[in-house]
Chains A and B, each alone.
Chain A
Amino acid sequence: MQYLPTRLLWTIPTLLGVLLVTFVFIRLIPGDPALLLLGDAATPQAVAELRREMGLDQSVGVQFSRYVGQVVQGDFGTSVRTRRPVLGEILRVLPYTLQLAFAAVLIGTAIGIPVGIVAALRHNTTLDYVLTSVTLLAMATPAFWFGILLILLFSYQLNWFPAIGVGRSSDPLTLLAHLTLPALAVGLRNAAGLARMTRAYVLEVLYMDYVRTARAKGIAETSIVLKHVLKNAMIPIITFIGLEMGILLGGTVVTETLFARPGLGKLMVDAIFSRDYAQMQASILFWAILYVAINLIVDLTYALFDPRIRYD
């Protein structure tokens, strides 16, 4: 088992790089956190004072070494807006982000892969054209518009699901009910992308020699598709799902805003608008950690589908 420790060691320079790049780039954005915090009523003296207290009068180099020193000790700093530790803020929104990302990937996979397979098996038929048009349309639909359509139908007209909020943790059913519309908004668009991917890869494998051999042996069509075709097309599909998952963990800010849900994406965007440096850095670093972890999991799952891949 040499593979895992080596991979894990390699994440350290990756994350350090993320830390450095975000630290520098965040400070390149024009705008002054002290000024935004103090608002219009701020006197220049008050701004200068607050900048000094926030350590912003130091050079970026000094600020960075100080920051890394703190991070190594597990201290990611305090948000200038809330005056609370930024790590706590991240952990507070993380459950909602994970719920949404998992639910969306689940919906995406459950719908996208079957649709893709059907389109591939019936390629160049009317059914295929219909499915292709629908998936293209879904991919081209902006998230906020699709979300509003869902709210209009399921919340406003039918009153099946609440449009806004996340429900109460004490009652998991309310959590699920609040999760449904945002998860559909993200998940259905995901399903479209996945269906296109699946169609392309299944189609590619479908005419391989070993499939023809399997057919010649008289194996049932279902078995051919699931055991031979899909299993071989699975590696790019898994990669795609992993990438989507990574993006969803931080990139669903539009959906979060629309449905009044907390989440990592919204936390980052709010932090950017108020130039909340500590919150931005920690959130981006956290997102990077999740991304790296998902990539690792994806790599490890390859072995499940392709016995030639072994990690030892």
Chain B
Amino acid sequence: MSERVLVIIPAYNEAETIQEVVESIYALEGEYDVLVVNDGSSDETGTVVKGLDRAHLIELPYNLGIGSTMQTGFKYALRSGYGFAVQCDGDGQHPVDAIPALVERVQKGDADLVIGSRYVADTSYQPSFSRRVGKSLLSRLVDALIGGGITDTTSGFRCMNRKVLAVFAERYPEDYPEPESLVLLHRWGLRVVEIPVEMRPRQGGRSSISPRHAAYYMVKVALAIFVDMFRKFTQTTGDHS
């Protein structure tokens, strides 16, 4: 199996920060390919990435939303034969220097997906109140469903192997995908672990979640997870390129 690692960055109007994020990934020790999936940005995100030397760029013709954007990246990673994929935001919040630790944990082979978690001891991350309430309720629900051990179910800073890529390429929730995706993996019998990472405040742009959205987010994800419990999953090969 290929040991190549692809870092997938979903980008929606991240022109201010994307270059720094991509370059800091290339500055890491070890070989990482970078794919930016531009989700129909209205700013210069696409142009900025085109100007970067080695970065792969996939441009969605219009704004599809975070879930479908990530799934495009998963499909690309799977079809291009990458052994591992890392999911990392383009706004500079995710600590790029923690990527090797995430990858190493998956490569060890006792986990299929590793979450870079904000809540595991020793991180000073302080999210807003509404976000904290919504996320903790949701996290508890998801954590209970998948048998415990995960505190940060909404983190979008994760590393996964090809088994996970195959599942996600086939089925990935459309918006606020992370918690539901963990339940999906659990249903497939794949193993999820988390390790602590230190999150940084975003370097630019704006958060996609407002307090009003937080309520919708809770209900929508809870419903999706509830329905998933009654859904039959059929085995697919995943690789169909």
Chain B binds chain A:
no
